[in-house]
Amino acid sequence: TMVLVRTDYTESITRLAATPPIIKGWHTEEGPAKLGLLEYTITRTRPHRLPRGYSCVLAVAVYTPEFNVSRLRSSISQLCHALEEPVTKCSSNNKPLIFVAGDFNGADVRPLCTKFYLRQMNREPTRAAKCIDIILSNPPDCYISETRNPLGPPTSSPQYFNLADEASTNSENNEPSCSDHRSVLAVAPKHLYSATRPSERKILVRSGQLRDTVAAIRQLDTNALLADIETDPHSSINRFMQAIRNAQDLHQPLRIVKTKGDQEWMNVEIKQMIRERQRLHSAGEHNLRDQLALRIVGLIATRKANFYREKYTRSKAGMWEHANKLRKPPTTLPPDPEYGERLNEQFSDTVWQGVTQANISRFIRRDALPTVVPVFNFTNVGEQLRNVKSTSASPDGISGKLLYSARLELVSPLVAIFNHCVNKGIVIDEWRLGNITPIPKVQNPATPSDMRPIAITSTLCKIMERIITKQILRLVR
């Protein structure tokens, strides 16, 4: 196992003292010998750029000889003991980025992973059909593993021709290689590394003034847009909704903005000191920068301690809820088109799948239906528009905030649209769509059935449904 450090990307390199344990009384063919129970080296480096929240990199190269189960367990225990000191020297605010790599010869590394919150990055075979060369690390999900050909140029030495492992053959020219182990690399692709940076994220927001959109909606000729609603209701309603979207896009176009995800304990004083530290770093004043960095670390520790002491007290409501969020962070899934298709199949017609809807037409009498008084009027529709919440826009592109702001301009055409939809028994296609967000039901979801669909449907359709529900309940009671 090799630790390669690029010096032009690193501020400091320190090799820590390591004293591997020795097994005495180990007998070989040549007589008694001393055999290392564990061979390892620990190197601490400080690159110029690291993921947020990490202060340095601990690169640990490990080799565990082939022993029985008890000896391998002792080797992992010794490695845990050796890593305690360099890890505990780092503060809790700036934990080290740990990479433990080497030939473990099938040792159980779960105690090591549990103690230092590591995860195994590679699962592919590295020697024959076994994965004995592994990489353990604790960074965010911006690193991936790559398995490549063994190191070393092809050789014609006869001692390599008797190797029975597949890894001892170079795949390019089918000649033996100097090593019988495949190489495993931990790589941070640029797109994955950028995706895990919590400092800023890009979102789409509406620019401009909402009152300009309301003024443009006020100028619309709704009578002309809904003139042929009797003959072609779908096209007429779609034309009306498209006119609203055009007015919104004209006066409030979508633009991409960057938002910073600051911690809840962050304040203005710490932000100013961080900006000053960045200025000193750009100016090349490294001594002043290091002094200010130490002050920032102490200030952050004090601020976090005071903040969480005041927040997580037993007298305050929701204390355990906040504590569980920190203890069990929300599960995020990587984008997977195939998994998305399976979710679509799972969520489509979830409620009525396999259920035949009953025919209730025989219970309806035409003489019992109101023929003069319409279901929708200016009173009930205006009331729903005044009470609408500022929800996100559904696939129809009309948000609750826009409906509330333009309620006086939209109440008249919406009354006509709702009454016509109920009288004709139609629902336009845009009102049948929804933006579905899957929420995990369990800690580690594995199948689509472990996800709960949360849908954002059309606000106009929900307004119509609420009014119809009130009418039905009034008749039933």
Write down the pLDDT at residue 8: 65
- pLDDT at position 214 is 92
pLDDT band at 195 (very low <50, low <70, confident <90, very high): very low
Q: Please tell me which residue, 219 or 316, carries the higher pLDDT value.
A: 219
Give the pLDDT score at 111.
86
Question: 402 and 213 in contact (C-beta within 8 Å)?
Answer: yes
Tokens of 473: 């309940």
Residue 239 pLDDT: 92
Q: Look at residue 26 in the predicted model and tell me its pLDDT.
A: 47
Cα 116 to Cα 113: distance, rounded to the nearest angstrom: 6
Q: What is the pLDDT of residues 255-287, one digit of tens each?
A: 887 766 667 788 878 888 888 998 898 888 888
Q: Which of 21-35, 81-95, 132-146, 463-477 reaches the highest mean pLDDT?
A: 463-477
Question: Distances in Å between the alpha carbon of 376 and those of 381, 416, 463?
Answer: 7, 8, 11
346 touches 442 (CB < 8 A): no
**Nearest of 367, 365, 370, 385 to residue 467 by alpha carbon:** 385
pLDDT digits (tens, 9 = 90+) for 29-75: 555 545 556 788 888 888 777 766 677 888 888 888 776 777 788 88
Mean pLDDT of all residues belonging to the chain: 77
> What per-residue confidence (pLDDT) applies to 466?
92
Distance of CA 294 to the CA centre of its chain: 31
Q: What is the pLDDT of residue 81?
A: 83
The reported pLDDT for the residue numbered 241 is 92
Amino acid (1-letter code) at residue 460: L
Rounded distance, CA 418 to CA 431, Å? Answer: 12
Helices (H), 33-123: 69-88, 110-116
What percent of the chain shows pLDDT beyond 90? Answer: 15
**What's the confidence (pLDDT) of residue 410?**
93
Average pLDDT over residues 308-313: 72
Euclidean distance between CA atoms 168 and 150, whole angstroms: 7
* Local structure of residue 127 (DSSP, 8 states): B
The predicted model gives 377-393 an average pLDDT of: 89
**Residue 168, pLDDT score:** 44
* Residue 175: how many other CB atoms lie within 10 Å: 14
Q: Is the pLDDT of residue 443 over 80?
A: no
Q: Alpha-carbon distance 18 to 39, whole Å?
A: 9
Q: Is the CB of residue 144 less than 8 Å from the CB of residue 191?
A: no
Its pTM stands at 0.47
